[in-house]
Amino acid sequence: MSRIPFRALSLFAATAALAFSFTVPSMAAEDAVVIPAPAMDAAPASGIQTAVVAGGCFWGVQGVFQHTAGVVNAVSGYAGGTRATADYQTVSSGRTGHAESVEIKYDPKKITYGKILQIYFSVVHDPTQLNRQGPDVGPQYRSAIFTTSDEQKKVAEAYIAQLNAARVFNKPIVTKVGALEAFYPAEAYHQDYLTLHPNQPYIAYNDIPKVENLKKLFADNYIEKPTLVNASKATN
């Protein structure tokens, strides 16, 4: 199903929820889950590394990692399909194989791959939701980790097994782990969306709470000023 009608419905629902919040204590659209750090992590490395994850609408995923220390750039885009279908309208059909994803460039001396995954599973999304995330439904919103090396694959799979064994979620994790074939940046208007539109009902209800949860649960990894795509382009 197309993202557009679902996004319209979710905006309506978010607006209603915000209006309701004037009389009822506010709640995040998705509660964060306190989870253990991964028992296995990537070996120390030098130079900027790349991680690619998908966990629902890329606005919120990008927004969280733009507030994460050690991340030098986080770009919204598409992974899992071909270049020919890597555009918003086509991906929204749910028939391209793409997932809305975020490419994370990070400094391994400041943050590890395992820590990125811990934040991803804890505050970015609910990894037990199959082919959906909150109000957004379809395989383009699936939970997925696109690995760039055999080491990343081993770390991700081991962490999923660890979390399932510990029963930190009340349902099994459905996150798929697979090799990244290509990442295609999304259209310019999707970049830095959370920062540029903090008062939009969808963002305010679904995504701002994720950043607040990052600040609360991962205080040592949180930065107040986001690392924006536009700023990164300006300095390169």
The Cα 52–Cα 116 span in angstroms is 10
Amino acid in position 86: A
The Cα 99–Cα 115 span in angstroms is 22
Reading the block at residue 144, the tokens are: 């997925």
Catalytic residue among 32, 57, 75, 211: 57
The Cα 10–Cα 201 span in angstroms is 9
Residue pair 53/146 in contact (Cβ under 8 Å)? The answer is yes
Which stretch of DSSP H or E encloses residue 88? helix 88-91
The Cα 105–Cα 73 span in angstroms is 5
Q: Is 140 a catalytic residue?
A: no
Q: In the β-sheet with 143-147, what is the strand arrangement from edge to edge?
A: 176-179, 143-147, 49-55, 99-106, 71-79, 183-185
CA angle 38, 123, 201 (to 5 degrees): 165
Enumerate the active-site residues.
57
